[in-house]
Amino acid sequence: PVVLGVESSCDETGFGIVSEGVLLGQGLASSAAQHADFGGVVPEIAARAHLDAAVPTLRLALADAGVELGDITHVAATSGPGLATAVHVGLAAAKSVAWSLDVPLYGVHHLAGHAAADTLEHGPLPERSIVLIVSGGHTSILAVGDLVRDPIEHLGDTLDDAAGEAFDKVSRLLGLGYPGGPAISRAAAGGDPTAFSFPRAMLRQGDAPYTFSFSGLKTAVARTVETIERAGEAVPVADVAASFEQAVVDVLVTKAVRAVRDRGLDTLVIVGGVAANARLREAARQRCESLGITLRIPPIRLCTDNGAMIAAIGDLLVRSGAEPSGLGIPADPSAVLHGAQLPLLR
């Protein structure tokens, strides 16, 4: 199979082409700059940008992969979760391609795509592993087996903000703009991560072991900035950003590693946009190395939204013999991923 993956759930328009677990090529466009003035993604602007970018980005992916459109044997597209207007555009584009080529269409779960991204770099997942998904909309610890066949077990989630959302909100209040993750990281370089001791929520014994909460951290950063400003002093942005990053990273790594050990497993996979964070990557590497845990994190370009990851989960579905979704598949903006639900949406 030569599988085309289409991603449009947020502000990235992505097309990727995967065959038998191998990434042949991809194209990626982002409307992030158009949302910068608003401090977050504006759904209507994102949808229009997907429409503008769809055909040129598909062309880029085909050229990058060195394949013709007619070589595509299957199409997979994010059908949820995501911004409804945005998902619709990519899904419609995917339907058009599938219909015109008369090839099967698979609607796939965006988060299963994030997890599958890692297989493009590190090969098939082991029989069982812990997956930490840290993205703009999700912060979840999952116990997974075969991504296509086995039920995904949800161990914990965030009670309020997602990790990426916390980066975006703190970036906004520090005046660093959108998207917040890269902006905070740049600002934090050279900062002292111990300058401020921001709260690490729910880390104590007796707290829900795999549950996150980031809204208190965001509030603590806001209070700190207010207090400094009220005193008429300059906000030490680098120190605040580094201390905030460190607080997020401590909680994420502690809870994810705890899940691996509690389950007696030996592999931790970290995926999603926040997995691009250098401080998180380094902290997880050190912690896993000292405990003998195998750590898998995709390269940065496969952490944030992209079409390759959707092609990757599509390729796994095709090779496992899954029934296609069909051209009538609706967008499912609030699709869930747990229990017996498979990555394939219908």
168 marked as binding residue: yes
Output the smallest distance, CB 205 to ligand ATP, in A: 28
Q: Interface with ligand ATP includes 138 (CB under 6 A)?
A: yes
54-66 exposure pattern, b = at least 16 Cβ within 10 A, e = fewer: beebbebbbebbe
Q: How far is the CB of 250 from ligand ATP (least distance, A)?
A: 14
Q: Judged by CB under 6 A, does residue 217 bind ligand ATP? A: no
Residue 139 is inside which H or E element, if any? strand 139-144
Binding mask 11-50 for Mg ion (x = CB under 5 A): xx--------------------------------------
Q: Please, what is the minimum distance in Å from the beta carbon of residue 220 to Fe ion?
A: 26
Distance CA 23, CA 66 (A): 12
Q: Is 181 annotated as a binding residue?
A: yes
Q: What is the nearest approach in angstroms of Fe ion to the Cβ of residue 259?
A: 21
What SS3 class is residue 157? coil
Binding flag, residue 274, ligand ATP (CB under 6 A) = yes
Contact between 110 and 273 (Cβ < 8 Å): no
Place of tokens 């912690």: 287
Residue type, 246: Q
Site string for Fe ion, 96-135 (x = CB under 5 A): ---------------------------------------x
Residue 135 or residue 139: which is nearer to Fe ion going by CB? 135
- Beta-bridge partners for 269: 131, 296
Size of the site for ligand ATP (CB under 6 A): 26
Provide the mask over 287-306, with x wherever binding to Fe ion is found by CB under 5 A and - wherever it is not: ------------------x-
Cα separation of 110 and 90, whole Å? Answer: 12
Residue 140, helix vs strand vs coil: strand
Give the whole-angstrom CA distance, residue 274 versus residue 249: 10
Residue 307 annotated as part of some ligand binding site = no
Whether 201 and 149 have beta carbons less than 8 Å apart is answered as: no
Cis peptide before 124 (omega within 30 of 0): no
Q: Which of 10, 18, 24, 247 binds ligand ATP (CB under 6 A)?
A: 10
Q: Which residues pair with 19 in a beta bridge?
A: 22
What does the binding site for ligand ATP look like in residue numbers (CB under 6 A)?
9-10, 81-82, 110, 114, 135-138, 164-165, 167-168, 179-182, 185, 272-274, 276-277, 304-305
Annotated binding-site positions for substrate: 133-137, 168, 181, 277
